[in-house]
Amino acid sequence: MKKRFLTAAILLGMLFLPAMSSADACIDCHSKISPGQVTDFQISKHAESGDVTCATCHGDKHKSADDFQLAVLPDEKVCAECHEDQFKQFTAGKHNFGWTSLNALPAAHMAPDELIEGGRGCGGCHNMGIKSEEQKKDLRGKGYRYQNNSCDECHTRHTFSKKEALNPRACQQCHMGYDHPQWEMWSSSKHGERHFAKLEGSLPEKAAAPTCQHCHMPDGNHENHTAWGFLGVRLPLPEDQQAAADRITILKALGVLNPETGDPTPVFDAVKAVKMARLDQESWEKERNKMIATCAECHSEEYAREQLAMGDAILQKSDRLMAEAIETVAGLYKDGIIKKPDGYPYNYPLLLTFMHTNGANWNEKLDDLSYIDQVLVQMYMKHRMRAYQAFFHVNPDYAYWYGWNEMTKDLGEIKELAKTMRANHAATK
Ligand code: HEC
Ligand code: HEC
Ligand code: HEC
Ligand code: HEC
Ligand code: HEC
Ligand code: HEC
Ligand code: HEC
Ligand code: HEC
């Protein structure tokens, strides 16, 4: 049966396909309706190889304008059929948690859908990671059909180019701005300056200039993790007593430790599940040593260790400022000067305000957040991030003026606000 069907298909194919193969049909019609896409495909290595057509990724069920919804919108598993290595590395990397870590936050479900599932705002950068069937159903249910593939975040469709992904600009859209300005820091550091000087011909092409990919995807490995990660907290606690106390204060304000009992909360499990922080010394050291080996391609190992140790040290010093600010605001909660907003689990400030709300209306929560709390959130999300990330990305201006300097200003403002709030509170009593 099967064999006879195949023979018939081959015969039919020989008769009709040379003139009307589905590959030609797709390209013929789409050359008229979306010519830019066809050109991008035609200049790709996929087209050059001759092994890949439109139908390889989209199937051949859709044949006309009326049935375009039958076209498969390919997820990463389709790419894995031919690129298993990159798929496996990606799966083990941090990018694979982008969508899950976003959706782990109740806030994601309270913000307008356009900013999450629609793929702008938070969802415009966090649409990374292989989606579960449940996550896909949720998307469809809200009327969103696209965002099925992460690979095209760096190898944009339909050129799917390696050269494009090797350009640091491939990372720029997401790694920039408020709380993670790696693009701004790197591009204006000596590392970035040399990269651009090479492009502009001021340095020979062979000159050494590390890019994002050089340091974070060594040997083209798609598995990306860093030692500290985004939150800049880790376990075990530092040996220094003050430093340990400061980190505990920050963990409480992140909602990871219960401010009253000091016990881990459900947020701790969420942090663990998506690897938001290294929770033992070994996993931290593994990433750190990998990075040192990369620096050592162009620097002495000693030099590199000293540079990164300075980053660790400034993080600890930033945490001293941060903890003092948190304690100042926490005192206002304790003395009833700030009322705990609805949905706050504890009578304590919460830094990642989008991380904990369980009330019905996110916007109501924002109204509830006191101004001094907003300054505190900014101190953590914007200025502390800059103070330490700038050391790792070798940017003096971000390290001092946009980082440390702004943190000291935030702390000054918080103390002044607290004084006024206490005085007003006493006067109205
Ligand atoms: C006779 C014309 C025609 C042919 C042949 C054709 N398409 Fe299309 N295709 C369309 C039109 C029209 C749309 C809808 C475009 C729009 O929404 O603007 C479309 C949409 C699509 C979409 C987007 C689907 C979506 O949900 O947004 C994909 C993918 C696609 N085509 C791939 C293919 C592939 C692969 C083939 C060959 C197997 C093919 N097309 C053949 C006309 C055609
Ligand atoms: C290597 C796989 C691959 C090939 C080959 C491929 N596509 Fe796509 N295409 C994708 C991916 C991935 C998406 C994004 C899916 C999503 O966002 O859910 C996509 C999306 C689309 C869309 C809808 C989104 C948009 O930007 O308009 C159209 C239309 C489309 N492809 C047409 C084509 C046509 C025509 C060809 C052949 C000239 C082609 N594709 C070849 C992978 C491929
Ligand atoms: C049917 C097999 C097949 C599928 C499916 C496939 N590819 Fe490819 N891919 C190839 C071939 C063949 C090449 C060219 C190999 C070469 O030049 O070494 C290639 C090359 C590439 C390259 C390197 C291009 C360059 O500039 O050197 C990238 C990136 C890539 N594919 C990404 C993807 C992505 C992303 C998907 C899924 C959306 C995908 N591929 C799906 C077969 C496939
Ligand atoms: C401009 C792109 C962009 C936008 C918009 C964005 N994020 Fe992110 N987000 C990132 C990047 C990039 C990282 C990783 C940064 C780093 O490690 O320095 C990240 C990290 C995170 C993390 C920590 C993940 C971890 O495991 O370390 C959470 C949680 C998060 N974002 C939630 C959100 C929420 C909620 C929103 C919207 C209110 C949002 N993001 C908006 C790009 C973005
Ligand atoms: C579409 C947006 C997007 C693009 C493009 C992107 N990233 Fe990311 N990146 C993210 C998000 C979101 C996270 C945090 C993932 C999570 O929530 O778990 C992240 C995390 C990371 C991390 C892990 C940090 C940690 O916590 O240890 C590194 C390293 C990284 N990205 C490097 C890169 C590099 C290098 C490029 C360019 C080649 C790049 N990214 C391109 C969005 C993006
Ligand atoms: C010279 C090597 C180097 C280059 C180039 C580089 N980074 Fe980094 N990056 C680091 C180091 C070192 C760390 C901190 C690692 C640790 O925690 O020990 C880091 C950390 C990160 C993190 C985690 C949060 C943070 O900032 O500490 C992200 C995300 C990231 N880099 C993205 C990028 C992006 C995107 C680019 C390009 C715009 C880039 N990096 C360029 C070395 C580099
Ligand atoms: C964060 C950006 C980023 C994402 C996301 C990404 N890639 Fe890549 N990819 C790169 C970079 C950078 C290179 C070049 C690595 C090198 O050669 O140093 C690359 C190279 C490749 C190559 C060419 C390998 C070779 O040497 O010929 C393939 C194939 C590929 N990626 C497939 C994929 C697939 C499949 C996915 C999704 C599972 C994916 N990539 C997701 C950045 C990315
Ligand atoms: C591909 C080569 C290369 C890699 C990898 C590399 N660097 Fe560099 N780095 C350079 C060059 C070249 C300079 C410019 C030297 C100068 O200023 O004279 C430089 C400069 C620096 C500077 C000094 C900037 C200044 O203002 O004097 C620091 C600090 C630095 N790198 C740290 C690191 C660290 C830490 C790593 C690893 C995370 C690293 N580099 C990885 C090539 C590299």
Q: What would the pLDDT profile of 96-154 be if each residue is shown by its tens digit? A: 999 999 887 656 666 778 888 888 889 999 999 999 999 999 899 989 999 999 999 99
Percent of the chain with pLDDT over 70: 89
The answer to whether 204 and 198 have CB atoms below 8 angstroms apart is yes
Ligand 6 neighbourhood includes 183 CB (under 6 angstroms): yes
Nearest CA to ligand 7 atom 22: 162
What pLDDT digit, counting tens, does each position of 208-239 carry?
Answer: 999 999 999 999 999 999 999 999 999 999 99
Chain centroid to CA 344: how far? Answer: 26
Residue 9 pLDDT: 44
Burial grade of 40 (CB within 10 A; 0-12, 13-18, 19 or more): middle
Tell me which amino acid residue 358 is. N
Nearest CA to ligand 6 atom 31: 182
d(CA 190, CA 192): 5
Provide mean pLDDT across the span 385-391. Answer: 98
Provide mean pLDDT across the span 361-373. Answer: 63
d(CA 256, CA 340): 18
Tokens 């008229």 -> residue: 32
Nearest CA to ligand 6 atom 32: 182
Ligand 5 pocket at CB < 6 A: 94-95, 97-98, 101, 125-126, 128, 153-154, 170-171, 173-175, 212-213, 216-217, 224-226, 229-230, 274
What integer best gives the mean pLDDT of the chain? 90
Provide mean pLDDT across the span 294-301. Answer: 98
308 CA closest ligand 8 atom index: 35
**Of 331, 354, 348, which Cα lies nearest the Cα of 421?**
331
Percent of the chain with pLDDT over 90: 79
Binned at pLDDT 50, 70 and 90, residue 315 comes out as very high
Ligand 7 neighbourhood includes 79 CB (under 6 angstroms): yes
291 CA closest ligand 8 atom index: 38
Judged against a pLDDT cut of 80, whether residue 355 lies above it is answered with no
What pLDDT digit, counting tens, does each position of 70-94 carry?
Answer: 999 999 999 999 999 999 999 999 9
Provide mean pLDDT across the span 305-314. Answer: 98
**Of 374, 406, 372, 373, which Cα lies nearest the Cα of 387?**
406
Question: What do you get for the CA distance between the two ends of the chain, in Å?
Answer: 91
Judged against a pLDDT cut of 90, whether residue 179 lies above it is answered with yes
Judged against a pLDDT cut of 60, whether residue 280 lies above it is answered with yes
| 317 or 101, greater pLDDT | 317
Judged against a pLDDT cut of 70, whether residue 2 lies above it is answered with no
Binned at pLDDT 50, 70 and 90, residue 258 comes out as very high
Judged against a pLDDT cut of 60, whether residue 358 lies above it is answered with no
Longest dimension (CA), the chain: 94
Binned at pLDDT 50, 70 and 90, residue 354 comes out as low
Provide mean pLDDT across the span 180-201. Answer: 98
**How many angstroms does the Cα of residue 127 sit away from the middle of ligand 5?**
11
| 4 or 61, greater pLDDT | 61
Ligand 3 pocket test, pick from 45, 156, 159 with the greatest ligand atom count within 8 Å of Cβ, gives 45
Q: 402-426: b or e for each residue (b if 16 or more CB lie within 10 Å)?
A: bbbebbeebbebbeebbeebeeeee
161 CA closest ligand 3 atom index: 26
Nearest CA to ligand 6 atom 12: 392
Nearest CA to ligand 8 atom 25: 190
65 CA closest ligand 1 atom index: 12
Ligand 7 neighbourhood includes 96 CB (under 6 angstroms): no
Ligand 1 pocket test, pick from 62, 70, 147 with the greatest ligand atom count within 8 Å of Cβ, gives 62
Residue 110 pLDDT: 65
